């Protein structure tokens, strides 16, 4: 793999329905010592390893296995592979850090899930939190997140249950999202396609980079 090639990766959005209100999502805080997105709030995930290719017939299947494996390694939560639903695929170009080609999946929280067990070195903390609450923490600068995470949180905040999220995911194509820069009325914006289910498709570049 050359420096210009994107690193195959996967992430898993585990959704826990709640009778009291909005569903909660499993999120983790990356160690601050990590070179990429250190200290940021993300969904569990990581690179696709060679072992993830065993019995996989496609890159998407290998990504699904990686998403399940990484979630278990980071938080102790075991998610059944056959419950995953493809949600998105992000591959930012023209970035200063390493490029990742990341598959996003959603899955329901297992009914017998025990307490989260964040693993030292993998993440600083693991928690259940609604998308709206996480966005509020980021807006108040009590948490940080990168551009793809924020856009996915905005998308997930509109969904009332895992079933709703699954139907929403199935109603929208999964296409590679490579944000680009546009100038609008003298200001530069980071932009994504407008047909993939995201309610916010442009953010001023200076804000997007700070996020």
Helix (H) / strand (E) containing 29: strand 24-29
Q: Which two tokens stand for residue 144?
A: 């940080």
How far apart, in whole angstroms, are the C-alpha atoms of residue 177 and residue 89?
6
CA distance 111 to 15: 11
Contact partners, residue 110, CB within 8 Å, separation at least 6: 77, 78, 79, 80
Model's pTM, two decimal places?
0.93
Distances (CA, A) of 50 to 54, 71, 83, 183: 8, 17, 22, 41
Q: Report all structural domains of the chain as residue ranges with CATH numbers, in order of start.
A: 7-179 (3.90.79.10)
Taking the CA atoms of the chain, what radius of gyration do you get in angstroms? 16
Q: What are the pLDDT tens digits along the chain (211 aa)? A: 444 589 999 999 999 998 878 999 999 998 876 656 668 999 999 999 999 999 899 999 999 999 999 999 999 999 999 999 999 999 988 666 678 999 999 999 999 999 999 988 888 899 999 999 999 999 999 999 999 999 999 999 999 999 999 999 999 999 999 999 999 999 999 999 999 999 999 999 988 865 4
In the three-class reduction of DSSP (H, G, I as helix; E, B as strand; rest coil), residue 97 is classed as coil
């Amino acid at each position: 793999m050359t420096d210009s090639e994107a690193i195959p990766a996967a992430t898993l959005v585990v959704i826990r329905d709640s009778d009291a209100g909005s569903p909660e999502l499993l999120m983790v805080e990356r160690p601050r010592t990590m070179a990429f997105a250190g200290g940021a709030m993300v969904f569990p995930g990581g690179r696709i390893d060679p072992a993830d290719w065993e019995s996989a017939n496609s890159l998407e299947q290998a990504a699904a296995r990686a998403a399940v494996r990484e979630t278990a390694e980071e938080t102790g939560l075991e998610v059944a592979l056959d419950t995953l639903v493809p949600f998105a695929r992000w591959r930012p170009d023209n970035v200063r850090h390493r490029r990742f080609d990341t598959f996003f999946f959603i899955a329901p929280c297992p009914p017998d899930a025990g307490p989260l067990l964040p693993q030292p070195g993998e993440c600083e903390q693991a928690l259940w939190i609604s998308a709206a609450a996480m966005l509020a923490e980021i807006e108040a600068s009590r948490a940080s997140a990168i551009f793809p995470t924020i856009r996915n949180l905005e998308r997930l905040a509109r969904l009332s249950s895992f079933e709703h999220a699954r139907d929403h995911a199935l109603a929208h194509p999964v296409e590679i999202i490579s944000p680009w820069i546009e100038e609008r009325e003298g200001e530069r914006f980071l932009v994504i396609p407008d047909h993939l289910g995201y309610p916010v498709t442009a953010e001023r570049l200076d804000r997007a980079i700070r996020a």
